Amino acid sequence: MEESAHRRGDKKVVAVVGGGLVGALNACFFAKRGFEVEVFETREDIRKAKVVKGRSINLALSHRGRQALKHVGMEDKIVSKGIPMNARMIHSLSGKQSPIPYGKKGQVNLQNSRRFQAVFVTLTEAETYPNTTLNFDHKLQDWRAETGLMTFARPDGSKTQTQADLIVGCDGAFSAVRKQFLRRSRFNYSQTYIPHGYMELTMPPRNGEFAMKPNYLHIWPRNTFMMIALPNLDKTFTCTLFMPFEEFEKITTGDEVIEFFQKYFPDAIPLIGAAALRRDYFRLPAQAMVSVKCSPYHIGDKCVLMGDAAHAVVPFYGQGMNAGFEDCIVFDEIMNQFNEDFSVVLPEYSRVRVPDDHAIADLAMYNYVEVILFNFYFTCTFSYISFS
C-alpha cells in the first residue's frame, strides 16, 4: 500500500474529497489561507476526458454564488464567460412565446454550463496555488475521524493512504465521506426522491447562431411535466425535459418520441431535429433527482461536509450550486472569527449553516410543487400570467 508523500512542512493539511465545483472552490479558499491542500477526485481529470459522466443540468449563478467567487478572485472569470438571463420565455402549445421578467426590475441570473465552470475555471484555478495538489482516480474507501487517516483505491487495484488535519467532504449527494457520519449516534439524515426524472437533449445552432433568443430561460409548461432550454457559449441550447418516470417509460420507440413531441412540443421538433430526437432520447435513461438533508455537518475537529454532500437539493429553485459556494465563504468567515481553531470552527459552522441549507432544500421542494401547479394552470387556461 502506497502512502502519500507530498511535502507538508509545518503547515496543517486539508484534504478535500471531491473535485467538483464546491470541492475545487474550497481548495482555493484553504490554499489562500496557506494550508497544504490535497484534492481527491474519484474520476479521471475531466479536463482531459472525452466523455464526462455525472449530472450536467445547466447552472444559474446568482449573487450568493458570485460573492464566494469574488473572494478568491474568480468572479470576473466566470461572469465574462456566462450568458445573462433577463427573463423567462414561456412557449405555449400553439407556439406563442410570452416573456415573463424576474421578480425585481433589472434582476439577472448568469447561466453557465457545469462543464465550463468545473473544467475551465474552478478546477484549473485551484491548481494555480503551489500549495495545492490534485489527485485524480482516487476513490475514498475508508477514513478515520480520530486520526484523519484516509484510504483510497486506484484503478490499477492499488491503495493509497494519506493523513490530514481536516477532511472536507465535497463528494456529492451520495458522499463516501458522509457514510462515516451515518455510523455515529445523533446524526440526522434523510433523502427524498421526487416522482419526476430529467433527460437532456441538445438544440444545435441554426446558421451559426442561436436557434432561439439566447437571453431567456425558455420554458414549455405542459400539465404534469415541462421542458426548459438554456443557452451555451457554443450557440447550442441544453434542453431538459422534466417528467414523471412512468411517462418516460411509456415511450419505447423513435416513432413514439416524435408523436410525443408533436403532441406537446411541436415547435421544438424542427429546432432540435427529428433524427436527433429519435437518437438522443434513448442515449441515456431519465435521471433521478434527490433531496438530502443531514445534521450536524461535522465530526469533532476532523471532518466537515459541504455542498451536495451536506444538502443536495432538487434543481427547481436554481440555488444548489450557489448554496454550495456560499458554504465556502461562510466557513471562511467563521475561520476568521475563531482564528482557524477547527475545534470551535466546525461546530459553529454546523450551528450557523444547517438551518440556512435546510431552508434552501425546502424552498427547492416547494418550488417543485409550484412548478407542477403552474404547469397545470398554464396548460388548462393559456390565460395571461404575471409574477410578482
Among residues 234, 225, 250, the alpha carbon closest in space to that of 202 is found at 234
Among residues 236, 242, 203, the alpha carbon closest in space to that of 222 is found at 242
Residue type, 93: L
Instruction: Find the angle CA(49)-CA(289)-CA(220) to the nearest 5 degrees.
Output: 95
Give pLDDT tens digits for 34-93: 999 999 999 998 777 765 555 455 566 666 677 777 777 777 776 666 777 778 899 998
Exposed, middle or buried: residue 324 (CB in 10 Å: 0-12, 13-18, 19+)?
buried
Distance of CA 90 to the CA centre of its chain: 24
Among residues 379, 376, 162, the alpha carbon closest in space to that of 264 is found at 379
Distance of CA 185 to the CA centre of its chain: 29
Q: Which long-range contacts (CB under 8 A, 24 or more apart) does 93-99 make?
A: 93/222, 93/264, 93/266, 93/379, 93/382, 94/382, 95/266, 95/267, 98/385, 99/216
Give pLDDT tens digits for 90-117: 999 888 998 887 655 544 555 555 555 5
Residues in the chain, pLDDT under 70: 1-9, 50-64, 78-81, 102-120, 318, 371-388
Could you tell me the pTM of the whole model? 0.85
- List, in sequence order, every residue forming a beta bridge with 196; answer none if it has no partner: 244
pLDDT for res 386: 30
CA 238, CA 232: separation in Å to the nearest integer? 7
Instruction: Find the angle CA(164)-CA(133)-CA(11) to the nearest 5 degrees.
Output: 45
Give pLDDT tens digits for 355-384: 999 999 998 888 887 766 565 555 444 333
CA 127, CA 262: separation in Å to the nearest integer? 48
Cβ atoms of 1 and 152 within 8 Å: the answer is no
Pick the CATH number of 2-58+113-191+291-369 from 1.10.3720.10, 3.50.50.60, 3.20.20.140, 3.40.720.10: 3.50.50.60
Per-position DSSP letters for 152-185, written without gaps between them: EE-TTS-EEEEE-SEEEE---TT-STHHHHHTST
pLDDT for res 311: 95
What is the residue extent of each domain of the chain?
2-58+113-191+291-369
pLDDT for res 346: 98
CA R_g for the chain: 22
pLDDT for res 88: 85
pLDDT for res 382: 39
How far apart, in Å, are the Cα atoms of 132 and each of 117, 123, 363?
19, 11, 36
